[in-house]
């Protein structure tokens, strides 16, 4: 069992948990992820490692409440325990001195882009960052991103904070102004966002690394549920990734595969909401 030692609410639907998992913390590197399972009847879901503390033996995960498992996770408190935390999984990000790099984080993708931006900065790169969300409430870690970025652009879809734009708009401007200065780009966020970032950078030929968040079961390469088509070659996100050259990704197939269990996800969520609300109502009466 893996104890939750800290928990924070970053936005109404984005939460942070710090979990004691010394075996993961010991080896974790930016870009890697863990598989977690809340309880014995739970499912295994992948969460990116947003931070780690080797001495304390803890790893930090940030997640958005989008369905049954993440909402359940969101109700847990310090002292509660997770049934399984396995990792670190996947390859770490390839951190090197590239020159000027651009880090783009969309929504909950701000969490995993942070340790990468930090490592790139520590490696001596000039780090330019763009973070974006639908609305102001969904933004977080502006200060942390600012602390590791030479320049930080913030945008919201509705203009409630920063620029009123989606992340690809400031990206286009940067590309037009100084594409030849940008050595490498990292983009993490919803699949659609990553797809459009890659479309924007492709004509300039700038290597664009994306971190794919596909459906996973074991996370160790034994099932292929996370398989992705890279220009005709099948790769497993859990062992070959999660980072890939975004220009090779078959985004249409990736987006379709993310929808496989949409009905079941809705059913599980509704059922969970009914039972938990029942519990809350019963508790209220008592």
Residue ranges of the binding site: 62-64, 223, 226, 238
Token pair recorded at residue 252: 């249409």
Size of the site for another protein (CB under 8 A): 43
Indicate the helix (H) or strand (E) that contains 116: helix 110-122
Give kind and range of the element (H or E) at residue 120. helix 110-122
Given candidates 10, 17, 18, 24, which one binds another protein under the rule CB under 8 A?
24
Q: Which stretch binds another protein (CB under 8 A): 5-13, 118-126, 203-211, 257-265?
A: 257-265
* 42 binds another protein per the rule CB under 8 A: yes
State yes or no: residue 273 binds another protein (CB under 8 A): no
Cα-based distances in Å from 88 to 26, 27, 31, 95, 240: 9, 7, 10, 17, 14
Instruction: Establish if 71 lies at the interface with another protein (CB under 8 A).
Output: no
Phi/psi at 80 (5° precision): -70, 160
Nearer to another protein, 158 or 274 (CB): 274
Between residue 148 and residue 177, which ones bind another protein under the rule CB under 8 A? none
Please say which residue, 168 or 211, places its beta carbon nearer to another protein: 211
Q: Is residue 221 involved in binding another protein (CB under 8 A)?
A: yes
* Distance in Å, CB of 283 to another protein, minimum: 23
Cα Dmax for the chain? 66
C-beta of 37 vs 276, nearer to another protein: 37
Q: Which stretch binds another protein (CB under 8 A): 52-60, 73-81, 110-118, 264-272?
A: 264-272
The upper half-sphere exposure of residue 123, i.e. CA atoms within 13 Å in the direction of its Cβ, equals 18
Residues belonging to the binding site for FAD are: 62-64
List the x/- string, 80-119, binding to another protein by CB under 8 A.
---xxxxxxx------------------------------
Which window, 5-13, 38-46, 51-59, 169-177, contacts another protein (CB under 8 A)? 38-46
Near another protein by CB under 8 A: residue from 7, 136, 229, 248: 229
Nearer to another protein, 161 or 272 (CB): 272
How far apart CA 286 and CA 282 sit, in angstroms, is 6
Q: Write phi, then psi, for 189 (nearest 5 degrees).
A: 170, -160
User: Whole-number minimum distance, CB 236 to another protein, in Å?
Assistant: 8
Tokens representing 267? 């059913």
Q: Which residue positions form the known binding site for [2Fe-2S] cluster?
A: 223, 226, 238
Asked whether the beta carbons of 233 and 244 are under 8 A apart, the reply is no
- With CB under 8 A as the contact rule, the residue among 23, 136, 144, 163 that binds another protein is 23
CB count within 10 Å of CB 32 equals 24
Enumerate binding residues for another protein (CB under 8 A): 23-24, 27, 37, 41-44, 68-69, 83-89, 217-218, 220-225, 227-229, 234, 239, 250, 252-253, 256-257, 259-261, 264-265, 267-268, 271
């Amino acid at each position: 069992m893996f104890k939750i030692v800290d928990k924070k609410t970053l936005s109404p639907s984005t939460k942070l948990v710090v979990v004691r998992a010394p075996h993961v913390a010991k080896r974790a590197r930016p870009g890697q992820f863990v598989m977690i399972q809340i309880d014995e009847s739970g499912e295994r879901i992948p969460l990116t490692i947003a931070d780690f503390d080797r001495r304390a033996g803890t790893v930090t995960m940030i997640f958005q409440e989008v369905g049954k498992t993440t909402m359940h996770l969101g109700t847990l408190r310090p002292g509660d325990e997770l049934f399984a935390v396995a990792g670190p999984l996947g390859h770490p990000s390839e951190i090197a001195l590239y020159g000027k790099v651009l880090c783009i984080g969309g929504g909950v993708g701000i969490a995993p882009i942070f340790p990468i931006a930090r490592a790139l900065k520590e490696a001596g790169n000039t780090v330019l960052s763009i973070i974006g969300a639908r609305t102001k409430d969904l933004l977080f870690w502006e200060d942390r991103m600012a602390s590791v970025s030479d320049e930080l652009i913030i945008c919201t879809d509705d203009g409630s904070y920063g620029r009123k734009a989606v992340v690809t708009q400031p990206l286009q401007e940067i590309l037009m102004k100084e594409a030849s200065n940008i050595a490498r780009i990292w983009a993490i966020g919803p699949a659609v966002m990553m797809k459009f970032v890659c479309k924007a950078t492709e004509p300039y030929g700038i290597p664009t690394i994306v971190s794919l968040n596909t459906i996973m079961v074991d996370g160790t390469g034994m099932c292929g549920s996370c398989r992705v088509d890279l220009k005709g070659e099948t790769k497993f996100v859990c062992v070959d990734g999660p980072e890939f050259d975004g220009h090779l990704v078959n985004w249409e197939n990736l987006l379709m595969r993310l929808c496989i269990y949409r009905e079941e996800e809705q059913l599980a969520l509704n059922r969970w909401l009914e039972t938990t609300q029942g519990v809350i109502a019963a508790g209220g009466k008592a």
